[in-house]
Structure 1
Amino acid sequence: MYAILDIETTGGKYNEEGITEIAIYKFDGHTIVDQFSSLVNPEKPIQPFVINLTGINNEMLRQAPKFYEIAKRIIEITDGCIMVAHNALFDNRILTTEFERLGYKFERETLCTVELAKKLIPDMPSYSLGKLVRSLGIPLSDRHRAQGDAKATVALFKMLLAKDTSKEIITETLRKEPKQQLAPKLLDIIENIPAETGVYYMHNEAGKIIYIGKSKNIKKRLTQHFTNDNRKSKKIQLEVKSVTFEKTGNELIALLKEFEEIKQNKPLFNRSLRRPLFTHQLTSFEDENGYINLKIENADGRKKAITTFSNYQQAKSTLFKITEENQLCQKLTGLYDTKKQCFNHSIKECYGACIRKEPVKEYNNRVQAFLEKNSYENQNMIIIDRGREIEERSVILIENGIYKGYGFYNLNFQINNPEILKSIINPTQGSRDVQHIIQNYLRRNKVLKIVNL
């Protein structure tokens, strides 16, 4: 659990500043579960430059509560939480100093979104909160007011959690929360897990990830893990002490996250993705008569593939569909082995390329149209689909035929700026396996939109 906060002060000498406004959002890593905000009477005048910056003046604070009147609420909402702030050193120092004046020792673990952003989103032009969130397409209202800045920090922290593919933030959080390391009943672990699409992470007592999985219904899938009596499930049940999760909004992002993070974290109980994801591929060649032929082959990294398949049966059934939709010849797609006309020509569903009756150019134009539509080579496009919340969309970026990563953006923010698009993307190494995941998914499922760049 995190307490994400922002504090505005009077300004002045070091350790003599007073709090003028505070906002705290209690955040479980996915949603805000509690919140508190208040103007504060600092019992001292505000520096003129601060008044100009925040718009908070001395008159506004005359009737506001003094710090000792809200101290109990601050302790309650931050209890058991890791405190998160943009420049956490400053906010923590101000709070600690105020509590010291009351004779109370206020101690919380902290995380700084400036430090996290520099590590997870390098090479940004600025890491000041205003400029950083603007660069990332995060809405920010009421700049230099506690509520506006704290809400923007929540959105920034949510993005940083998604970009942290090695899961260092989560692992460190679990280590700092001893209560998470108790051995609860397995079904108690999933009590607060949603029945939504996403990726889940099983952690051992030390917080280390021992298994990563994805599901359209995380709660249901975890229930299967914890009630199954096969050998692997029993081992997991003995080791697991806590489960964290990330909602993805759609299955394609879940598939890509699962693949990338298993490869990066190498969890003890993940073995299935160590096997090849695809066994067959579709290739093309020109025959002695000039016709472009399609052919199913065993997967071979040395050859250029149009698309890949998990098994031969999937390849064959897909090729039948391709042949039918593009009015191709079954003989030239390798589905009808004959030296004469194909079966479809005998029932007048093939224009006769099999017996050189159809002009080469006409036939090849249809094959070429199919190849251009289905091959990612040299393509620049984004795949847009559902996000984690109603007001959000997910985006997958493909540049020059190579998968570059995925991200999420708010519907209120248009992503027609290429630089903003690239900054919200969680960058990933493209590979044939990832290309297979995307092409295989798009063959079987609809997405909201594909935009060619």
Structure 2
Amino acid sequence: MYAIVDIETTGGKYNEEGVTEIAIYKFDGHEVVDQFISLVNPEKAIQPFVVNLTGINNKMLRDAPKFYEVAKRIVEITQDCILVAHNAVFDYRILQMEYKRLGFDYKRKSLCTVELSKKLIPEMESYKLGKLVRALGIPMSDRHRASGDALATVKLFQLLLDKDSEKDIIQQAVKSEIKKKVAPRLLDIIESLPSVTGVYYMHNAKGDIIYIGKSKNIKKRVNQHFTGTNTKGRKIQKQVAAVTFERTGSELVALLKESEEIKLKKPIYNRAQRKTVFQFAMASYKNEDGYIGLRIEKADGRKKSITTFTNMSQAKHIMFKLTEDFKLCQKINELYTTKSHCFQYTIKDCDGACIKEEDVDSYNKRALEAIEKYSYATKNMLIIDKGRHHDERSVILIEDGQYKGFGFYSLNYQITNADVLKSIITPMQNNRDVQHIIQSQLRRKNRFKIISLD
């Protein structure tokens, strides 16, 4: 029997969070046989970023039961069950923390659907719950609310159970107890770090940088390093003496700065990231009938590409989406092999370019629009994103398709002149890695403000 859990919290300092909402679905491997869903009064304020993320505010929780009032029901519904959650370390830790405050030792076996998904569905673009279930065609509602996330996890877990037909992988993944003891000196380091977006630097006793990383929550990410059990994690835990950081506000700026710093400083535990991370590229060609086609090919630094991809799974996902969005032909884009028309033509999602029915100019106009969207090779633009503070914005400069650097400006000064914005840019190296980072982020995010300089 499984108890599939999702918990929303107030956010805040590690091990000082409070539960704001909990959902538990008791699942027998075939169907849900019991459930418990409740808001919870955490008796402390919710962090503003959590309110924005979940929509749960302090007023909503004023009359909600406190944790001790729902504690018995949680024990009962999870009794003799394996606790299942997407990132089980987090949900199990929160439950144990709350019960510890009540003087009760809460212990359950646990399973993490993130770990299971990586083993049973390798090469997915992302293992974050929202992106993963969307990629798998699992319906989801009320994202970042306990009930919606827990129900999506039920459906994901059912899919994972089906894939693990012998149940060997799932049996091996069950943890009797998640032990995450952290040395006191490492706890002191964690406590000194903020829960902000930026780049962090791990130093040894001599002050040398041994690892560089980026995160949307530096405190949480460093804690994961300090509780990790893999070989690299244990080596870092032994050697780290201090962690410094730089706020960026923008995740894109953090990615770009991390990439540059790793190449410049070459930390011992960033060996894999010193090398280029993309393997495949999107290129264009003209077929014998004059239609512009797009294809996936091995990335080659000597050739100009439209955009790049980390792996073939990501490349195919983007190519199918692009083909659908711009009503292009799967055959011409080399996604569907046939001597006649493509499958999309039979369901009227292709206008017949595959059998020369569609006008070449009309088709090529859409193909060029697709290339324009997925490439900035000839663009001059500024990418505006979050800053380090609420009254600040970050800006990234692209000139002639080359990444020039980034900077920050205050909203107290309404800078609308592109030349003034360009003057605050800190110069950075342009290479294929940063091109890949920027292009992949522009594909995924809609929150950037783009200012064209053409």
TM over 0.5: yes
Shift of 1:448: 3.3
Q: How does 1:52-201 map to 2 (within 5 A)?
A: 185-201=185-201
- How many angstroms apart in 1 are the aligned matches of 2:191 and 2:293? 55
Q: Provide the secondary structure at the position in 2 that maps to 1:269.
A: helix
User: 1:442 offset after TM fit, Å?
Assistant: 1.4
3-state SS of 2:420 partner = helix
Q: CA deviation at 1:184?
A: 6.5
Query: 2-side partners of 1:266 and 1:273: how far apart?
Result: 9
Secondary structure of 1:383's partner? strand
Higher alpha-carbon deviation: 222-231 or 210-219? 222-231
CA distance in 1, matches of 2:188, 2:310: 37
Equivalence map 1:27-66=2 (5 Å): none
Instruction: Name the CA distance, whole Å, in 2 between partners of 1:272 and 1:201.
Output: 17
1:283 maps onto 2:275 in alignment: no
Give the drift of 1:420: 3.0
Paired residue secondary structure (1:388): coil
Residue 396 of structure 1 aligns with which residue? 396
Amino acid of the residue matched to residue 214 of structure 1?
A: K
1:176-222 per-residue CA deviation (whole Å, 9 max, x = no partner) reads xxxxxxx9611101212111211111112222211100111111111
Shift of 1:422: 2.8
Matches within 5 A, 1:365-444: 365-444=365-444
Q: Name the counterpart of 2:217.
A: 217
CA contact (8 A) 2:211 2:270 kept: yes
Amino acid at match of 1:286: K
TM-score (norm 2): 0.58
- Alignment of 1:203 with 2:213, yes or no, is no
Counterpart of 2:377 in structure 1: which amino acid?
E
Shift of 1:358: 0.5
| Secondary structure of 2:243's aligned partner | strand
Per the alignment, in what secondary structure is the counterpart of residue 268 of structure 2? coil
* Letter paired with 1:213: G
1:308-350 per-residue CA deviation (whole Å, 9 max, x = no partner) reads: 0000011001111000110101111111101100101111111
2:331 partner amino acid: K
Q: Distance in 2 between matches of 1:386 and 1:194?
A: 17
One-letter amino acid of the counterpart of residue 417, structure 1: N
Question: How far 1:418 sits from its partner (Å)?
Answer: 4.1
Task: Report the residue type matching 1:191 in the other structure.
Answer: E
Structure 2: runs of 5+ lacking an equivalent: 1-182
Partner Cα separation in structure 2 for residue 418 and residue 208 of structure 1: 39
Residue aligning to 1:232: 232
Q: One-letter code of the match for 1:276?
A: T
Assess if the C-alpha contact under 8 Å between 2:403 and 2:435 holds in 1.
yes
Give the partner amino acid of 1:363. Answer: Y
Indicate the residue corresponding to 2:254 in structure 1: 254
Shift of 1:421: 2.1
Kept in 1, the 8 Å contact 2:375–2:439? The answer is no
Alpha-carbon distance in 2 for matches of 1:439, 1:237: 34
RMSD: 1.4
Instruction: Please state how far the C-alpha of 1:447 moved relative to its aligned partner.
Output: 2.5
Deviation at 1:303, TM superposition (A): 1.8
2:399 partner letter? E
Tell me what 1:66 maps to: none
Q: Quick one: distance in 2 between partners of 1:414 and 1:219? A: 33
One-letter identity of the residue aligned with 2:315: A
Report if the CA contact (8 A) 1:184-1:241 is conserved: no
Q: Deviations over 1:387-423 (max 9, x none)?
A: 1100000110000110001111101223333443233
Given that residues 262 and 274 in structure 2 are in contact (C-alpha distance below 8 angstroms), is that contact kept between their aligned partners in structure 1? no
1:350 matched to which residue of 2?
A: 350
Distance, in Å, in 2 between the alignment partners of 1:201 and 1:420 is 31
- 1:449 aligns with 449
User: What are structure 1's unaligned runs of at least 5 residues?
Assistant: 1-182
Query: How far off is 1:384 after superposition?
Result: 0.5
Partner of 1:49: none
Q: Deviations over 1:358-393 (max 9, x none)?
A: 011110111112222322122100110111100000
Q: Quick one: distance in 1 between partners of 2:191 and 2:348?
A: 60
Which letter does structure 1 place at the counterpart of 2:324? E
- Return the index of the structure with the highest Cα Rg: 1
Does structure 2 conserve the Cα–Cα contact (< 8 Å) formed by 1:278 and 1:309?
A: yes
**Alignment match, 1:326:** 326
2:304 alignment counterpart: 304
How many equivalent pairs are there?
271
The answer on whether the counterparts of 1:353 and 1:360 sit within 8 Å (CA) in structure 2 is: yes
Normalising by the residue count of structure 1, what TM-score does the alignment of the two structures yield? 0.58
Are the equivalent residues in 2 in contact too, given 1:331–1:338 (CA < 8 A)?
A: yes
The equivalent residue for 2:241 is 241
Q: Distance in 2 between matches of 1:432 and 1:303?
A: 11
Aligned-residue offset at 1:432: 1.2
> 1: CA distance between counterparts of 2:228 and 2:369?
48
CA distance in 1, matches of 2:318, 2:374: 12
SS in 2 for 1:294: strand
SS at match of 2:403: strand
